Structure 1
Amino acid sequence: MSEQPKPYRVETTIGADRDTVWRAMTDAVQIREWFGWDHGDLDGEIQYIFVDHAKQEPPERMLFDDGSYLELVPDGHRTTIRAVLPGSLDGTDWDDVYDGMEEGWRSFFEQLRFLLEIRPQGRRRTIYLTGTAAAAEVLAIVGTDGQPWHTSRYQQITVNQAGHLLVVAAQAPLTGDAEGPISLTITTYGLDDAAFAAVLAEWTAHWTGVPDAKVTTKAGESTVTI
């Protein structure tokens, strides 16, 4: 296969008008409410990606240094947000190629859709769990009592009964039985310290049996890992 990066085209339709989505993808305070997950330098990451290495073309496009771009396609009170790295997707060479950037945008767009459609109150706090496991093992931890939000080859996203967004993201197809790197991001909003600590303890307990288990969140000024 060529050494060129995998082209991608990721898009999600959000139940919000173009100007609302544009503000959410250009205002650093709002970006922090949907992009990525909490870690020691999320603010620095946002600055690097969305400010230092991006060019805005309001109200519908943002260009990045690597040739990729985000664009908005408005349709009344709905807007499609799209991440594109140009290149030919023809042929079969790319069929089984996992790409972290492609899947990252897929996760983050769904997190953005959750923010703008559900409009949860209060600040976001996340728990990011990583390890090595087969998808079935992690999906069993998540359970089946959630509301489906998004399903694709490498991701399953649900809203659990507590109203938290759960993003399972693997580097192997979720329908297979291969073990590999896998993550679970729990997004919460509006929890006080005690409530968030309880959620963190619950998910940490669930995750400790996963090989290479690591839990990352932001607690005050420290990043918590196990």
Structure 2
Amino acid sequence: MSEQPKPYRVETTIGADRETVWRAMTDAVQLREWFGWDHGDLDGEIQYIFVDHVKQEPPERMLFDDGSYLELVPDGHRTTIRAVLPGSLDGTDWDEVYDGMEEGWRSFFEQLRFLLETRPQGRRRTVYLTGTATAADVLAIAGSDGELRHTSRYQRIAVHPSGHLLVVAGQAPLAGDVEGPISLTVTTYGLDDAAFADVLSEWTARWSDIPDARSTTTAGESTITATAPR
């Protein structure tokens, strides 16, 4: 296997015009409503990626220090957003290679699409659960109801009947039965403290039903570490 970085090309089409998408990618307040998940230094992460280590070519392209770039291609009231790390995808079985940056953009583009197309009211709050488990165990607690938004080798993204966006992201193929690092992100909007506490409690309890799953739950700036009962 080559030791060169895995080239990638991730793209998502969003039901919003290019200027709206560009603003969501460059305004710090809007970035916080879709990028990543809540943690103590999310603002610093956004500053590092989208300000300190990027060259902007508005409203078409962002060039990053590692040679990757984001580009926005307009199509009327729709926009295709791409994350690209240039390189040949031929000659290497790249499908077998997991890449965190590639999969991160896949998740975050869907979170951006959810924000701009659904237009939820109120600020975002997230529950982030991570541990080692089989995809089947995590998909079982996520459920199969709701609107499927994306499915691929390492991810399944859906809108739960509650209206929250669920992102299941594994480092092993979701179709297999291999235990590996896997996460579940629950994105909510507009919840007060009591309502969000209920969501946090519900999904932490579901995660704890996974045998031997060790989890970290991130909610706002507080982190709770829990180990499921054996």
* Aligned mates of 2:219, 2:43 — CA distance in 1: 12
- Confirm or deny: 8 A CA contact 1:170 1:180 kept in the other structure: yes
Unaligned runs of 5+ in 1: none
Q: In the alignment, residue 59 of structure 1 is paired with which amino acid?
A: P
2:115 partner SS: helix
Cα separation, 1, equivalents of 2:42 and 2:24: 16
1:25 aligned partner, one-letter code: M
Partner of 1:160: 160
User: What is the aligned partner in structure 2 of residue 213 from structure 1?
Assistant: 214
Contact 2:128-2:219 at 8 Å conserved across structures = no
In 1, are the aligned partners of 2:25 and 2:31 still within 8 Å (CA)?
yes
Matches within 5 A, 1:139-150: 139-150=139-150
- Give the superposition deviation at 1:94: 1.1
CA contact (8 A) 2:10 2:105 kept: yes
Please tell me whether the aligned partners of residues 131 and 216 of structure 2 are also in contact (alpha carbons under 8 angstroms).
no
CA deviations 1:1-59 (Å, max 9, x no partner) are 22211000000000000000000011111011000001111011000110011111101
Structure 2 residue 84 is the aligned partner of structure 1 residue 84: yes
1:102 equivalent in structure 2: 102
Supply the distance in 2 between the matched residues of 1:180 and 1:73 (Cα, whole angstroms).
36
Cα deviation, residue 104, structure 1:
0.3
* RMSD, aligned α-carbons: 1.1
Match of 1:130 in 2: 130
Aligned-partner residue type, residue 136 of structure 1: A
Residues 139-198 of structure 1: per-residue CA shift (max 9 Å, x gap): 110112121111111100111111000000011111111111100000000000000000
In the alignment, is the contact (CA less than 8 A) between 2:169 and 2:184 conserved in 1?
A: yes
Task: Note the residue ranges of structure 2 that are not aligned, 5 or more in a row.
Answer: none
Cα deviation, residue 209, structure 1:
3.4
Q: TM-score, normalised by structure 1?
A: 0.97
Q: Within 2, Cα distance between the matches of 1:188 and 1:2? A: 40
Report the residue type matching 2:216 in the other structure.
Answer: V
C-alpha distance in structure 2 between counterparts of 1:212 and 1:4, whole Å: 33
Letter in 2 for 1:31: L
* Superposition deviation, residue 212 in structure 1: 4.1
1:94 partner letter: W
Letter in 2 for 1:109: F
Aligned length: 225
Distance 1:216 1:48 in 2: 24
Q: 1:215 to 1:146 in 2, by over 3 A?
A: farther
Quote the residue 2:195 is aligned against: 195
Measured after TM superposition, the shift of residue 214 of structure 1 is 1.7
> Does residue 17 of the first structure (1) align with residue 17 of the second (2)?
yes
Q: Which amino acid aligns with 2:99?
A: D
**1:179 maps to 2:179:** yes
The 1-side partners of 2:222 and 2:136 are apart by 32
SS at match of 2:186: strand
Instruction: Indicate if the aligned counterparts of 1:38 and 1:216 stay in contact, CA closer than 8 A.
Output: no
Q: Which amino acid aligns with 2:37?
A: W
- Secondary structure class of the residue paired with 2:10: strand
1:116 and 2:107 are equivalent in the alignment: no
